[in-house]
Structure 1
Amino acid sequence: MLSIFAKNGSETPEPVKAQVIGSIPSWLQGTLLRNGPGLFSVGNSQYNHWFDGLSLIHSFTFSNGEVTYRSKFLKSETYKRNIKADRIIVTEFGTMAYPDPCKNIFSRSVTHLRNIIPDFTDNNLINIIRYGRDYYASSEINYMNQIDPATLETVGRINYRNHIALNLATAHPHYDKEGNSYNMGSAILGFGRPKYVIFKVPAEPEGRGHTKPALRNVQQVCSIPFRSLLFPSYFHSFGMTENYIVFVEQPFKLDIVKLATAYFRGVSWGSCLRFDKDDTTLFHVMNRETGRKASSRCYGDALVVFHHINAYEEDGHVVVDLISYKDGGLYEMFYIDSLTRDDTFSQSDQKMTKPVCQRFVLPLDVQQDCPRGANLVRLTDTTAQAVLQQDGSIYCTPETLFEGLEMPGINYSFNARKYRYFYGSRVEMSPHPNKIAKFDISSRKHVTWQQENCFPSEPVFVGSPGAEEEDDGVILSSVISPDPNVSPFLLVLDAKTFQEIARASIPASVHMDLHGHFIPAAV
């Protein structure tokens, strides 16, 4: 059954009209762009990992109560090279490929080691991000591919390194109310001392000519030195408040030496990640304006985090909500062999680390005369603690909000602000969710939507025009099923009640995706 996730998807290059059941709100006007892996074999060669599949971009366009759908493969250099060769010749996260099978391993390794950090694929399959008025398919590498959000055509490739000294960058930026974009990456080798870099891409005023990429105006906010030169922290996202960037330096690490020799040894980049359960997790709180670090040194027990939910400031504290794991084993669940074995999840479910939504509270102002051993958290609505240690550091223990939820989303107008609700995919017997949920932080209660044998994507909140309440809006999620009698559909839920108000059945193939971006229609 789960083989539906690892089969090759197909394009729907021209818009097709969906059959709407129910009533889509008349105010819902715009396009939901989605990105994820969609092609898992080329010729007779196959990818080893679900996160290796070639990017397939989807769009769901809402206009006057109707929905149209289209999809196209991202025409990256990786895609074009593989298709031309009729086999996989570009290495991905879990699949090592060799462009010239006639060369022996020694000549291949000499070529590769000319650059200690390899030139990564540009198969941008994780998210859709915005810089200025430009939209890009993105992943965690130095390349992005710009797309036309209306036609899904690939416009061209851009390299972060032409604008800022980075080897890697996240696919999960933040946006402020002025339209500025914030993101972070890492400068591993070739750019001086290895460091994490936080940067800002300023918004572009409407009405001004638009001919060059907004990324040309990128500004470095600050940098943070690696605590271990050869073992930098892996990071997938970060937090942002009104005044601060929050970076969690976790003990899920990239082994630089292994990465540099992966090609020579014939192993995948994924094998270069390791989790150090005996290490600590550091919380870096950096001022967005000055680039200076908050004086408090906060740390916690070892954890792995991929997705942040939200962060905000309250009464001299920074509240950080994220989804944590006890180890880095999640990636192992997405190898194609695992996804296509019917018994995999019944056997491994007990071994699989469940995602846990946790709240950390980081004190900003610590007085010199505070007694050692004191809990510095003054907020009354949380059980999270931050205990001052003898050396002046602060040991933070989280409050568990909810278990078994991933792909979190919020009403983004409440990003960096105190909020009440978050949404996400319920993870139970497999890494692919079969439910979506709404969690109320105030009541600590949740509600879910599910349909038997159906698999929904990450829920996306779209707010009603002029809404005053945080959950006044709709939840959008694309849903697929292995049942041939159930067409893929775009689900529309009332965000308040979590009841279905409409679904748009798509008369075309739709593939499971990862993340996306809603673009409101121009007024």
Structure 2
Amino acid sequence: MAEFKTKFYPNCDSNVWLRSCEVEVTDPIDGLITGEFPAWLQGTLLRNGPGSLKVGSMRFEHLFDSSALLHRFALRDGRVTYQCRFLRSNTYKRNHAANRIVVAEFGTAAVPDPCRTIFHRIAALFKPGESISDNAMISVYPFGDEIYAFTEGPVIHRIDPLTLATMERKNLSESIALLHHTSHPHVMSNGDVYNVGMSVVRGRLLHVVAKFPFSENGDMFAEARVVASLKPRWMINPAYMHTFGITEKYFVILEQPLSVSLVGLVWSQLTDQPLSSSLDWYPEEETHIVLLGRESGKEERRYRTEPLFFLHIINCFERDGRVVVDVCAYRDAKVIDAMYIHAIESMQSNADYAEWFRGRPKRLEMSLAAPPLTRVEPKLLADLGCETPRIHYDLHNGRPYRYFYAISSDVDAENPGSIIKVDTVTGETKSWWEKDCYPSEPVFVPSPQAKAEDDGVVLSALVSGADARAVSLLLLDARGLRERARAHFRTPSPAPKCLHGWFLPRRP
């Protein structure tokens, strides 16, 4: 008699995260349209994310290590086309030339290279852009009229928004001495770009805010400069940061209890061990919220709150003498462990797995008149899973807002593949879901001459649990999250689930 195995999360198909694309789609394929894409919606949705877990007979051990795969959905005159292509990073080229994993990743050790002596390894420590993986598989952002793929290392890659070809490799440590930076810079309404990273300034390690001034004809990277800095709370264990916030007057830095051991980082570099081995979680330490003045460039306010882990900030803004920070918060950093491949494969027999992914949208509200290190109690915005949040970015980034969109992080929900909308004023929530369907980050696109904050549409790339070669572009009405249209595609090989992206409106 066959052994009966109970599934803790029968409605969640984790295999959507374990797929590897085997055939790129370089020539656009037309989608089968249901419903109607509005005539005004003209442009390109670019996506980035894990593309392949395999190199020869070897396999990556963490989702963040998967070879970067770029996706392109082009919308024009009611038609939608799809393409996908691997990012040709140096890491990708080296791995495929050797037919094995020869560059250590976030969660995967590299095969020892007999030609790489200890002297080569030590020398590489002084070239951070060359010593760590440049597999930029997290996000894509515009710098002026150029598009770049990002991860947390100092190297970014320029991509062609029409063909997805990898065009240029740029090492930011050569222009502004960043050892690393977040995967989510802020693109301001005037085109300026800000990002937070680590840098050595006069022999001291600092968190720094770098500004890349917008230029139509010049080089935004050549004009880059540090505009604010912060001494880490723990000098040899600086806090890990995936995102940061910005308001009219402040840069918002969350120093969480997940830290990067510099000693561990050096050791991992010397021994080809995964970068995750240098991360330490300190549950007894509180999270600090630090406000750096955008004019002064210095720390102006510091607050504390309960220990929490975060990857993504929803939005930050100032109102009535207070600074508000909305964040997708977790009790601890176990969500990183949940993204190891063995953890994904065994999730159905892990009764704790859902709690590892139990992210919730929370609000931190700080009075600018409060004494230093005032403790702030988080307020729950909605009791549902929350990840990859997006807002009406062009008008409300760093300003008061009302609505955000996200995907559910509750793997034990009745419908784990949900898109959610949260009204931060009333607490009302809306959701869209379809059985065995898994959406990616929902991207809001405003209607022409929109009068209301949620007057527009939401775009999301979908994959199917039942059909590994099915990918779709979903169009929802942003107000009620009702489906208006969908473009269906049949890919020549498995279609992996993507992470983050950017919508580029078509220029007149």
Quote the residue 1:281 is aligned against: 287
C-alpha displacement at 1:168, in angstroms?
0.5
SS in 2 for 1:194: strand
User: Is structure 2 residue 13 aligned with structure 1 residue 13?
Assistant: no
Deviation by residue 1:41-71 (Cα, 9 ceiling, x = unmatched): 1111111111100100001011011101111
Count of residues in Structure 1 that have an aligned counterpart in Structure 2: 487
Contact 2:18 2:496 in 1 (8 A): no
2:381 to 394, 401, 414: 401
Counterpart secondary structure, 1:80 = helix
Q: Which residue of 2 aligns with 1:505?
A: 488
Contact 2:110/2:273, CA 8 A, preserved across alignment: no
8 Å CA contact 2:354, 2:410 repeated in 1: no
Alignment-derived partner of residue 63 in structure 1 = 76
Give me the whole-angstrom Cα distance separating, in 2, the residues matched to 1:485 and 1:152.
Answer: 22
Aligned residues of 2:460 and 2:473 also touching (Cα < 8 A): yes
Answering whether residue 15 of structure 2 is matched by residue 32 of structure 1, we say no
Identify which range, 81-90 or 461-470, moves more after superposition.
Answer: 81-90
Gaps of 5+ in 2: 1-12
State the partner residue of 2:501.
Answer: 516
Whether the 8 Å contact between 1:132 and 1:203 is mirrored in structure 2 is yes
Q: Is the 8 A contact 1:259 1:269 kept in 2?
A: yes
Aligned mate of 1:146, from 150, 155, 158: 158
2:97 counterpart of 1:87? no
Q: Residue 184 of structure 2: which of 151, 159, 172 is its match?
A: 172
**1:133·1:214 contact (CA, 8 Å) conserved in 2?**
no
Report deviation, 1:113. Answer: 3.2
Q: 17-26 or 432-441: which moved more?
A: 432-441
Q: Against the structure 1 CA distance between its residues 31 and 290, is the aligned structure 2 distance closer, same or farther, given a 3 Å change threshold?
A: same
For 2:474 and 2:354, the matched residues in 1 are separated by 31
CA contact (8 A) 1:174 1:183 kept: yes
**Secondary structure of 2:338's aligned partner:** helix
* 1:204-353 matches, cutoff 5 A: 204-205=215-216, 209=217, 213-264=219-270, 267-294=273-300, 296-341=301-346, 343-344=348-349, 346-349=350-353, 351-353=355-357
Gaps of 5+ in 1: 367-387
In the other structure, the counterpart of 1:113 is 122
User: Secondary structure at 2:110's aligned position in 1?
Assistant: coil
Q: Could you say what secondary structure the match of 2:85 adopts? A: strand
Deviations 1:310-369 (A, max 9, x none): 01111111111111111111111111122233624x533354251121111122234xxx
- How far residue 40 of structure 1 moved from its aligned partner, in angstroms, is 0.8
CA RMSD of aligned residues (A): 2.0
Structure 1 residues 383-398: aligned runs within 5 Å:
388=371, 392-398=372-378
Q: Deviations over 1:182-241 (max 9, x none)?
A: 111012x58620000101111123xxx46xx42111121111011211100000001111
Question: Where does residue 363 of structure 2 map in the other structure?
Answer: 359
Q: Distance in 2 between matches of 1:203 and 1:190?
A: 25
The corresponding residue for 1:385 is none
Instruction: Give the residue type in structure 2 aligned to 1:319.
Output: V
Q: Which moved more, 1:54-63 or 1:261-270?
A: 261-270
Normalised by the length of structure 1, the TM-score is: 0.89
The 1:451/1:275 distance shift into structure 2, 3 A limit, reads: same
C-alpha deviation, 1:266, in angstroms: 5.8
Deviation at 1:479, TM superposition (A): 0.6
1:421 aligns with 2:403: yes
Shift of 1:288: 1.7
Q: Percent identity?
A: 36
**Residue 444 in 1 paired to residue 453 in 2?**
no
Say if 2:204 is the partner of 1:198. no
Give the deviation of 1:289 after TM superposition.
2.7
Looking at structure 2, the residues matched to 51 and 281 of structure 1 have their Cα atoms a distance apart, in angstroms, of: 24
DSSP 3-state at the match of 2:315:
strand
Q: 1:245 to 1:263 in 2, by over 3 A?
A: closer
Which amino acid in 2 is paired with 1:400?
A: L
8 Å contact 1:108–1:264 — kept in the other structure?
no
d(CA) in 1 for partners of 2:60, 2:73? 28
Aligned mates of 2:321, 2:309 — CA distance in 1: 26
CA distance in 2, matches of 1:97, 1:410: 38
**Residue type of the alignment partner of 2:141:** I
Task: Tell me the distance in 2 between the aligned counterparts of 1:393 and 1:512.
Answer: 41
CA contact (8 A) 2:354 2:411 kept: no
- Paired with 2:89 and 2:455, the residues of 1 have a C-alpha distance of 38
What is the CA–CA distance in structure 1 between the aligned matches of 2:212 and 2:137, rounded to whole Å? 22
Which range is displaced more, 446-455 or 213-222?
213-222
Partners of 1:486 and 1:223 in 2: how far apart?
47
8 Å contact from structure 1 (residues 134, 214) kept in 2 = no
User: Which amino acid letter does the alignment assign opposite residue 2 of structure 1?
Assistant: S
Contact 2:103 2:272 in 1 (8 A): no
Deviation at 1:428, TM superposition (A): 1.4
User: Is the alpha carbon distance of 1:95 and 1:485 closer, same or farther for their aligned partners in structure 2, counting shifts above 3 Å?
Assistant: closer
Deviates more, 1:265-274 or 1:222-231: 265-274
Q: Is the 8 A contact 1:326 1:353 kept in 2?
A: no
Which secondary structure state, in structure 2, belongs to the residue aligned with residue 310 of structure 1? strand
Hey, what's the Cα distance between the residues in 1 that align with 2:298 and 2:49?
A: 36
Deviates more, 1:494-503 or 1:281-290: 281-290
Which stretches of structure 1, 4 residues or longer, exceed 4 Å deviation after superposition? 107-110, 115-118, 263-266, 430-433
Aligned runs of 1:476-491 on 2, under 5 Å? 476-484=459-467, 487-491=470-474
